[in-house]
Amino acid sequence: MNNATYSSLLELAAGLVILCAFVTLWRRSLSAIVRALSVQGVALGIVALVLGLHRHDAVLITVGGLVIAAKGAVIPTLLRRVLANDSRNRETSPLVNVPASLVGAGALTFLAYGATRSVVALVPTSAGRLIPLGLATLLIGFFSMVIRRKAASQIVGLLLVDNGIALVAFLATAGVPLLVELGASLDVLLVVVVLRVLAVQLSSKFAVLDLDQLQGLHD
């Protein structure tokens, strides 16, 4: 793989990761959001694969393959199962309306860009330059957890955060140790499973999956 192809492939894949993060904010239908998430997982895996191929790092290639399998297929499938239980699977009324949240996410992207200037200076490779995109994905994940009501949206936000961390880790270092990445992915998987159970219980008790209703417990 020559240098130009390597860096443009890397750029495209990293660009796809953040684009999918924006799509999760843009679309209202939860199934479309999950689809975006699975594309994001695949793009993340491709980042790892490309980096691994470029550095001839077998571990990184393996991680890439696993990421594609876990985040591109397994987790989205689980999420779809969660959604299948909820008939009203649209994020109808987020706390912040869609145009405003998109603009807010744009602002967060700039924040990520500004905040990582010094880090980028430390990693002067074509991979290092893309670190802001990873941080931006993380921030957008947090943001979407803040502004969305549905339990499933919260999981999506968490996954975005996780993907953002993974992207930064891939790009900043020679790659995350396999064990750490697997551990993190397992954590997320666990969370998804727990939430799935919770969701099933919530929907059987209250027939909705709206987190705002949890506030009722407080009063």
Partner 1 sequence: MNGFAHLLTSALVALVQLALVAVGGPLLLGVMRKVRSRLEGRVGAPIHQPLLDLRKLFTKQRMRPRESSWLFGVGPLVLVATVVCVSAISPLATTRPPLGQSTDFFAVIFALLLGSVVLALAALDTGTAFAGMGSSRSMTIGALCEPALLVAILAMAIPARTSNLPALVRAGLGHPALIASPSRVLALASFLVVILAESGRLPVDNPSTHLELTMIHEAMVLEYSGPDLGLIILGESMRLAFLLGLLVNLLVPWGVANRPGALFFVIGLAALAAKVLVTGVAIATFEVFTAKMRLFRLPELLAGGFVLALLGAVTAVVAR
Partner 2 sequence: MNHVSVLISVLAGLTATVAGGALPIRSRVGVAVLLTWVSCSAALVAAVSVLRSGHAIVMSTSKILPLTGISIVLTRLGAVFVLAIVMVALASTLYWIGYASHGLSTRSASSALPLFVTSMILVPFAGGVATFLVLWELMALTSLVLVLTDQSRREAARSAAQWYAVMTHAGAAAILLALVLLSAHAGGQTFAQIELHARHLSGALRGTIFVLALLGFASKAGAVPLHVWLPKAHAEAPGPASALMSGAMVNLGIYGIILVGNVLLGGGPVWWWLLVSALGVLSALYGALYAATTSDLKRLLAYSTADNMGLVLIALGASGMFAASGSRTTAAIAMVAALLLMFNHSLFKGALFLAAGAVQMVTGTRDLDRLGGLLKRMPVTGVVFLIGALSVAALPPLNGFVGEWLLLQSLLHALPSTNTAVVITVAVAVAALALTGGLTVAAFVKAMGIGFLGRPRSEEASNALEVPATMQLGAGLLALSCLALGLVPMLILPSLELGARSAQHIGVSSPVHGWISLHLFGLRGVLAPSLLAGGLFVALMATVLARRVSHRRSRSWPALAPVEPWGSGRRTQTVRMQYTSTSFAEPLQRVFDDVIRPARDLNVSPAAESHYYVERIAYRTSSDDVIERVIYQPLIVAVRRWGRLARKLQNGSVHRYLAYGLLALVIVLVVLA
Nearest approach in angstroms of CB 2 to partner 1 is: 11
With respect to partner 1, which residue has the nearer C-beta, 77 or 125? 125
Q: How many residues bind partner 1 (CB under 8 A)?
A: 24
Window of 5-13, 161-169, 182-190, 201-209 that interacts with partner 1 by CB under 8 A: 5-13
**Min dist. Cβ of residue 33 to partner 1 (A):** 14
Query: Between 21 and 50, how does the x/- string for binding to partner 1 read (CB under 8 A)?
Result: -x---x------------------------
Q: Taking CB under 8 A as the rule, does residue 133 contact partner 1?
A: yes
- Residue 114 touches which of partner 1, partner 2, none (CB < 5 to 8 A by kind)? partner 2
Tokens of 29: 């239908």
Decide if residue 20 touches partner 1 (CB under 8 A). no
Other residues' Cβ atoms within 10 Å of the Cβ of residue 80:
16
Q: Which does 117 bind (CB under 5 to 8 A by kind): partner 2, partner 1, none?
A: partner 2
Per DSSP, the residues of the chain read --HHHHHHHHHHHHHHHHHHHHHHHH--BHHHHHHHHHHHHHHHHHHHHHHHHHHT-HHHHHHHHHHIIIIIIIHHHHHHHHHHH-S--B----SS-HHHHHHHHHHHHHHHHHHTHHHHHH--STTGGGHHHHHHHHHHHHHHHHH--BHHHHHHHHHHHHHHHHHHHHHHSS---HHHHHHHHHHHHHHHHHHHHHHHHHHHHHS--BGGGGHHHH-
Q: Is 115 in the site for partner 1 (CB under 8 A)?
A: no
Say which entry of partner 2, partner 1, none residue 26 contacts (CB below 5 to 8 A, set by partner kind): partner 1
- Does 11 interact with partner 1 (rule: CB under 8 A)? yes
* Binding test (CB under 8 A) with partner 1, winner from 12, 66, 145, 208: 12
**84 part of the interface to partner 1, by CB under 8 A:** no
